[in-house]
Amino acid sequence: MAKQQQPGNVLNSPQAAKLLKDKAAVESLVKSPDTQALMTMLNQGGGLKAAAEAAMKGDASQLQGLLNRLMQDPNGAKVVERINKSVPK
C-alpha cells in the first residue's frame, strides 16, 4: 500500500517546487474546470474553511478528514485523478 502524504507535506515535495516555478502551469491548473469542481466539493457546508482554521491552530485532523471523505467519494476521487494527470511532471 502506498504511503499517504500528510496535507502540509505535499507543498514541500520536489514536484510542488517544480510546479510552483511554472507560472503558466499554475494559472492553468487554478483555472481548470476540475480544480473549480474540487474547490466546490471542498467548500460544501463550510468544510474547507473550518478545516483550514483548525489546521492554522495546529489541528490538521479536520483537514485530513475532509480529504479522506473527498477521496472516498467516487466523483471526488475522479476529479483528483484528472488533476494529478494534468499536472506537469
Question: Cα separation of 85 and 89, whole Å?
Answer: 9
Model confidence pLDDT, tens digit, residues 5-31:
454 555 667 777 788 888 888 898 899
pTM to 2 decimal places: 0.70
Tell me whether residue 18 is in a domain: yes
Tell me whether residue 89 is in a domain: no
Tell me whether residue 75 is in a domain: yes
How many folded domains does the chain comprise?
1
Question: Cα separation of 69 and 19, whole Å?
Answer: 26
Question: Cα separation of 41 and 36, whole Å?
Answer: 9
CB 26 within 8 A of CB 33: no
The gap from C-alpha 89 to its chain's centroid, in whole angstroms, comes to 16
Model confidence pLDDT, tens digit, residues 25-82:
889 889 999 999 999 999 887 788 999 999 999 999 999 999 899 999 999 999 999 9
Tell me whether residue 50 is in a domain: yes
Percent of the chain as helix, strand, coil, to the nearest 5? 80, 0, 20
For residue 4, what pLDDT is reported? 47
Tell me whether residue 24 is in a domain: yes
Tell me whether residue 26 is in a domain: yes
